[in-house]
Amino acid sequence: MGIGLFSTVNSKLIGFDDMKSSALLSITIQVLRSILSQLLIIIGFSVFGAVIGYVVSYMLATMLGTFIIYSNHYRKLSSKAESEGFKANLRTMIGYGLPLYLSSLTQNIIGVYRGMILAWFATNFMVGNFTIALNFDFATLILLLTGPITTALFPAFSKLNPLGEEMRRMVKYAVKYTATLIIPASAFVIVMAKDLVSIIYGSSYTLAPELLSVYCIAFLYAGLGSVMWGSFFNGISETKVNLKSTLIYATFFIPLAFLLAQSYNVLGLMLAMLLSSLASLIYILQIATRKFNLSIDKESALKIYIASAVSAMPVPPLAYLSPLPSLINLIIGATCYASIYLTIMPIIGGLPGRH
């Protein structure tokens, strides 16, 4: 319940474009959780203390967010409600929120179905490696890059005319900047997956590096705008498009997961996820192009892909043939990759803002 209340309060702040307060709440949660959980563990409450610290941090942050909304935005809420009327606001909220709810519900059902597929066609060892790949720390770091970006883009898109020139410019810059961050990070994780998994989890999870590499291919879709299209359509109140894209994902994933998992186990399930995501993304690109006359900067995206691929070429021999410890391989690989990438990007004119 605490997480749900916090999410509601934080969403209100984002809706008011109060990103400073939203960031303050996130920082507050992390600080409180790190202090309270550790303190309660030291006192002697063990795991129960860690859980209590986790829950209390969300509740306190929710109280802080509620106070900020009341102090800074209550008058705005009241005046708007009085001028537009409760029924009109309710219809707007239902029309906007229902597709998002149905989309979230569909995703949860897909998650349950994915678990059933794993139970049918994969061993416990495979399931463990699959879980490691999906929850891997460095993949999570990539998600941490995308989360704040999509959150910030949502109110930005809502302020612009979806058919105007400013929106077209905004979309191109959003894709370019997100791709510049996410594509090279993903390419590095793909080629260094073996050492990354070894450092964090040891050498027992022999299948996890391959699965992690395949999983991170989904992040390479950032060059096509995969990171920001959800925020775009939500920002312009076209939430039905996101619902339809989720349904397209489900339509492809349900048969593909069953067929591919039969032959390739967890790897087949990963491939089904990638193909389904691509089908959903193609639909979104068609809607964006046909209905809103939007396009991505294909030339810039291609340059980012080329720079990332060239930078990654020298790394696999180091990752798979070097007798050095994994940590040393990671440091050398990261230095080599970053040096080549940062050298190539200015040469080919791939840096954001350069034309």
The tens digit of pLDDT for each residue in 244-257 reads 999 999 999 999 99
With b for 16 or more beta-carbon neighbours within 10 A and e for fewer, the 243-266 pattern comes to bbbbebbbebbbebbbebbeeebb
Are 98 and 79 found together in one domain? no
DSSP-assigned letters across all residues of 35-54: HHHHHHIIIIIHHHHHHHHH
Are 75 and 176 found together in one domain? no
Q: What is the mean predicted confidence (pLDDT) over 205-213?
A: 89
Assigned domain for 128 exists: yes
Q: Are 118 and 127 in contact (CB under 8 A)?
A: yes
Lowest mean pLDDT among 84-88, 144-148, 325-329: 84-88
Give yes or no for residue 355 having a pLDDT over 50.
Answer: no
Res. 80 pLDDT band, cuts 50 70 90: low
Assigned domain for 353 exists: no
Are 159 and 204 found together in one domain? yes
With b for 16 or more beta-carbon neighbours within 10 A and e for fewer, the 268-286 pattern comes to bbbbbbbbbbbbbbebbbe
At 298 the pLDDT is: 87
Assigned domain for 24 exists: yes
At 69 the pLDDT is: 80
Q: What is the mean predicted confidence (pLDDT) over 122-143?
A: 77
Are 251 and 302 found together in one domain? yes
Which residues have C-beta within 8 Å of that of residue 135, sequence separation ≥ 6? none
Give yes or no for residue 186 having a pLDDT over 70.
Answer: yes
Lowest mean pLDDT among 27-41, 133-147, 210-224: 133-147
Res. 354 pLDDT band, cuts 50 70 90: very low
At 108 the pLDDT is: 92
Are 295 and 202 found together in one domain? yes
96 vs 51 pLDDT, higher one: 51
Q: What is the mean predicted confidence (pLDDT) over 305-328?
A: 88
Instruction: Tell me how far apart the 2 most distant CA atoms of the chain are, in Å.
Output: 71
Distance between CA atoms of 173 and 109, rounded to whole angstroms? 34
Q: What is the mean predicted confidence (pLDDT) over 216-220?
A: 91
Assigned domain for 354 exists: no
Q: What is the mean predicted confidence (pLDDT) over 326-344?
A: 91
Query: End of a domain among 54, 84, 114?
Result: 84
* Dihedral sign (CA 16, 21, 23, 28): negative
295 vs 88 pLDDT, higher one: 295
Let me know how long the chain is. 355
Assigned domain for 163 exists: yes
Burial class of residue 27 in the structure, from the number of CB atoms within 10 Å of its CB (0-12 exposed, 13-18 middle, 19+ buried): exposed
Q: What is the mean predicted confidence (pLDDT) over 100-110?
A: 91
Are 59 and 112 found together in one domain? no
The three state secondary structure string of 274-299 is: HHHHHHHHHHHHHHHHHHHCCCCCHH
Assigned domain for 142 exists: yes
Are 92 and 80 found together in one domain? no
Q: What is the mean predicted confidence (pLDDT) over 290-310?
A: 90
Are 40 and 137 found together in one domain? no
Assigned domain for 355 exists: no
Q: Tell me if residue 30 falls in helix, strand or coil.
A: helix
Are 224 and 165 found together in one domain? yes
Query: End of a domain among 32, 57, 84?
Result: 84
Are 262 and 314 found together in one domain? yes
Distance between CA atoms of 191 and 214, rounded to whole angstroms? 10
Are 333 and 192 found together in one domain? yes
Q: How many domains does the chain have?
A: 2
Domain span at 213:
88-348
Res. 302 pLDDT band, cuts 50 70 90: very high
Assigned domain for 238 exists: yes
Distance between CA atoms of 345 and 349, rounded to whole angstroms? 6
Query: End of a domain among 84, 107, 139?
Result: 84
Give yes or no for residue 66 having a pLDDT over 90.
Answer: no
Average pLDDT, the chain: 84
At 96 the pLDDT is: 77
Distance between CA atoms of 217 and 183, rounded to whole angstroms? 9
> Residue 296 — left, alpha, or beta (φ > 0 → left; ψ -120 to 50 → alpha)?
beta
Are 128 and 255 found together in one domain? yes
